[in-house]
Amino acid sequence: MDLLDAFERVSTKCRVVSPIPFCMTFAADKPTGLFVSAGIHGDEQTNIAAMLDFVSSHREQLEAAPYSSSFAIGNPETVRENRRYKVVDMNRSFGVEGLAQDVLRAKELVYAARKFPYILDLHQTIEPTLRPFGIFPQTPTTEEFFSHLGSITDLIVSTSMSGDASKPVCFDEYMLHTFSACAITVETGSIKGEQQSVVACACEAMKNALTYAKVLDGTVSAVPFRRWHQVQFVHNHADTKIVSGLQNFTQVSEGEEIAYRESEKIRSEHKGIVLFPKYVPTTDRYLARIAIQ
């Protein structure tokens, strides 16, 4: 199924306005509530399908809501081609100057989202993950928002992706920094993982976030979550390989082999979990990380 066609089909059935292409805003004349984006990385498509399912089944409530809500496909050009990005990673392109399609779409998305107090950005990991998780700039308000999303109960403590907190480049950190939005990113599962659980996770997160932002009626309660601090980084040298079978959140003991290069074994220095293991060749600085609570 073509997700862009499906988006257009759903939006023509709803009373919405479109501030930018592939973005539908419900109750646009009301105060702003929640902005949802999916597919900033064009190969993370299950969240888009989940978003369209969700919108279709909540259309009347969203149209009649006391606060507006907006649902956007992050980077439609790349969704069409099922590729991660066109020229540069869009989620490293917020607040960046340039004429690359990904940079221009980042500006559009900011324009559409700029007045919303709450932003939920849905992603999926490339490598397998045992659990969904949140990763976003942490403030008391973003953590409070995150704690109401339901069954996503792991938070990876992150640092600014630009390496400079005053130059945010991810959607969530840019919107927080520039517009004081309560903006968070959740990873609902992996691209190659079980699709149904990704859909269920994304739909629960959207429903709870919309309720928390008072777009939908009802109450949601806070759920305690685990904070994971990254404490060991395995460098991605050309001759270094990760041990097979490790997934995001795989538990490791202190001294356990996690990677190797020629005769050298690289071991976990902590009892903790593996994060972001890389099996597909990449230019990323790290092959994996170890995190502890």
Binding footprint of Zn ion on the chain (CB under 5 A): 41, 44, 123
Rg of the chain over Cα atoms, rounded to whole angstroms, equals 19
**Min CB(123)–Zn ion separation in Å:** 3
**Min CB(84)–Zn ion separation in Å:** 8
Nearest residue to 240 via CA among 198, 288, 189: 288
**Min CB(293)–Zn ion separation in Å:** 24
Specify the residue, 86 or 123, whose C-beta has the smaller distance to Zn ion.
Answer: 123
**Min CB(145)–Zn ion separation in Å:** 19
**Min CB(243)–Zn ion separation in Å:** 25
Count of other CB atoms within 10 angstroms of residue 267: 18
Count of other CB atoms within 10 angstroms of residue 272: 22
C-alpha 51/C-alpha 76 separation (Å) is 14
Q: Between vectors from CA 26 to CA 24 and to CA 31, what angle results, nearest 5°?
A: 120
Specify the residue, 170 or 291, whose C-beta has the smaller distance to Zn ion.
Answer: 170
Specify the residue, 26 or 276, whose C-beta has the smaller distance to Zn ion.
Answer: 276
C-alpha 284/C-alpha 287 separation (Å) is 7
Angle in degrees, 0-180, between the axes of helices 46-57 and 195-212, rounded to the nearest 10: 50
* Tokens describing residue 220: 């949601």
Asked if 10 and 45 touch (Cβ cutoff 8 Å), the reply is no
Asked if 167 and 106 touch (Cβ cutoff 8 Å), the reply is no
Angstrom distances, CA of residue 109 to CA of 8, 25, 104:
17, 13, 9
Specify the residue, 36 or 65, whose C-beta has the smaller distance to Zn ion.
Answer: 36
Specify the residue, 44 or 77, whose C-beta has the smaller distance to Zn ion.
Answer: 44
Specify the residue, 67 or 85, whose C-beta has the smaller distance to Zn ion.
Answer: 85
**Min CB(261)–Zn ion separation in Å:** 28
